[in-house]
């Protein structure tokens, strides 16, 4: 009997380049924790406008496609305008050599024999791209040109951080974990179970909102302290609030201050305000101007305003909490929660 050769792991096939200037995120972004360092990203991508392939050819920096996408997703919150401008420049320059508006094809293709051998061994498009240190689009276009059929591989694998949430979904819809792992075998069953979980979760949310109505006067008339209780479903704000609760830092959410200006977070006993800005706040010009006017009014009333993007809250929550704790220690000592969860 001939024994089958074991395939090498992705880390063995694509060794990590130690000279590459990178940083590690606390939480995975697009499935990756490693991104380009900010000074390198600003110099090469923002100022020089280099693409991933140009980085490899001119500066001998091999950046994987996954790292490139994760870096773009992370820094777009801070350099949204510059990145968008570079994208328009690259697109315009590409159209100059494509006057008929046809779909662009790579100037150099992968060798047919090499690509065919890898496909016959059962490798998928993304695995071949990782092995050859190129993009999945380049592999797919080469296979299309050579008329080779690509292998469909499951792109999603349940992460360790999602296991607890999947267990909770399993209680609502038994068998949903197995459907997620076998998506390609039976996609209809996967989407049916996913939609069933969606409807049951919404039923629970509606039940909670209806159940709180008869008891809302306790908070409205200040019979019990409001504290951090807020029914807004903003994901970034909820995550930051849970982080503050974990650190036992008292805070109010969606509270009106000077001239009924609504702020995201206010810390009792201080004039510290924290705002969590989403993508709309960064892209919409009118919203940015309105936020600037609000901040000027708050600063005139001696409020200190800290701004965090939603991506910072998702990816770097410990650093965000440390900055808030540092600001609180400089302003005054923050009030802490008692064991029951209300202010002392």
Span 204-233, average pLDDT? 75
Q: Which residue has the higher pLDDT, 334 or 255?
A: 255
Cα–Cα distance list, 120 to 27, 134, 150 (Å):
36, 19, 9
Percent of the chain with pLDDT over 90: 6
Mean pLDDT of 123-131: 77
How many CB atoms are located within 10 Å of the residue 19 CB? 8
- Please say if the pLDDT value at position 105 is more than 70: no
pLDDT of 109 > 80? The answer is: no
pLDDT at 100: 45
CA distances from 286 to 78, 135, 283 (A): 18, 38, 9
Residue 160 pLDDT level (bands cut at 50, 70, 90)? low
pLDDT, residue 341, reads 38
Report the predicted TM-score, pTM, of the whole model to 2 decimal places.
0.50
Q: What is the mean pLDDT of the chain?
A: 75
Q: Is 60 exceeded by the pLDDT of residue 199?
A: yes
Tokens of 211: 């159940």
Task: Bin 143: left if φ > 0, else alpha if -120 < ψ < 50, else beta.
Answer: alpha
Per-residue buried b or exposed e for 142-169, using 16+ beta carbons within 10 Å of the residue's own CB: bbeeeeeebeeeeeeeeeeeeeeeeeeb
Report pLDDT for 117: 86
Range ranked top by mean pLDDT from 43-47, 212-216, 330-334: 43-47
- The pLDDT > 70 percentage for the chain reads 74
Task: Give the orientation angle of helix 317-331 with respect to helix 235-246, to 10 degrees.
Answer: 60
Residue 10 has pLDDT above 50, yes or no: no
User: Which H/E stretch holds residue 133?
Assistant: none
Residue 321: band (very low, low, confident or very high) from pLDDT cuts 50, 70, 90: very high
| Higher pLDDT among residues 152 and 138, named by residue | 138
Asked if residue 140 lies in contact with residue 124, where contact means CB atoms within 8 angstroms, the answer is no
Bigger pLDDT: 338 or 252?
Answer: 252
pLDDT score at 107: 53
More confident residue, 280 or 240: 240
Confidence of residue 125 (pLDDT cuts 50, 70, 90): confident
Lowest average pLDDT, out of 86-95, 128-137, 192-201, 323-332, goes to 86-95
In angstroms, the CA 137 to CA 145 distance is: 12
């Amino acid at each position: 009997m001939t024994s089958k050769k074991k395939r090498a792991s992705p880390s063995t096939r694509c060794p990590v380049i130690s000279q590459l200037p990178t940083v590690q995120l606390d939480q995975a972004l697009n499935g990756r924790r490693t991104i380009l360092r900010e000074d390198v990203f600003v110099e090469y991508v923002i100022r020089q406008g280099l693409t991933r392939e140009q980085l490899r050819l001119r500066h001998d920096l091999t950046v994987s496609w996954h790292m490139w996408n994760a870096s773009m997703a992370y820094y777009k919150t801070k350099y949204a305008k510059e990145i968008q401008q570079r994208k328009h420049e690259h697109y315009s320059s590409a159209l100059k050599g494509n006057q008929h508006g046809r779909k662009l094809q790579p100037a150099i293709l992968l060798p047919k024999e090499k690509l065919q051998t890898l496909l016959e061994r059962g490798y998928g498009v993304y695995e071949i791209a990782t092995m050859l240190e190129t993009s999945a689009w380049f592999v797919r276009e080469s296979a299309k040109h050579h008329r080779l059929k690509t292998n469909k591989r499951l792109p999603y694998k349940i992460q360790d951080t999602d296991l607890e949430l999947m267990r909770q979904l399993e209680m609502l819809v038994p068998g949903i974990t197995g459907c997620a792992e076998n998506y390609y075998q039976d996609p209809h069953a996967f989407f049916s179970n996913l939609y069933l979980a969606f409807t049951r979760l919404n039923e629970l949310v509606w039940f909670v909102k209806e159940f709180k109505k008869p008891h809302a006067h306790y908070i409205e008339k200040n019979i019990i302290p409001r504290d951090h209780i807020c029914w807004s479903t903003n994901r970034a704000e909820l995550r930051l609030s849970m982080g503050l609760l974990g650190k036992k830092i008292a805070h109010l959410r969606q509270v009106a201050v000077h001239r009924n200006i609504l702020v995201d977070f206010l810390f009792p006993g201080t004039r510290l305000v924290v705002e969590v800005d989403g993508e709309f706040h960064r892209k919409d010009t009118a919203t940015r101007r309105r936020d600037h006017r609000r901040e000027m009014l708050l600063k005139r009333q001696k409020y200190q305003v800290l701004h965090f993007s939603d991506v910072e809250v998702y990816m770097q929550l410990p650093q965000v909490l440390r900055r808030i704790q540092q600001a609180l220690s400089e302003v005054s000592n923050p009030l802490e929660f008692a064991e029951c969860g209300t202010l002392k």
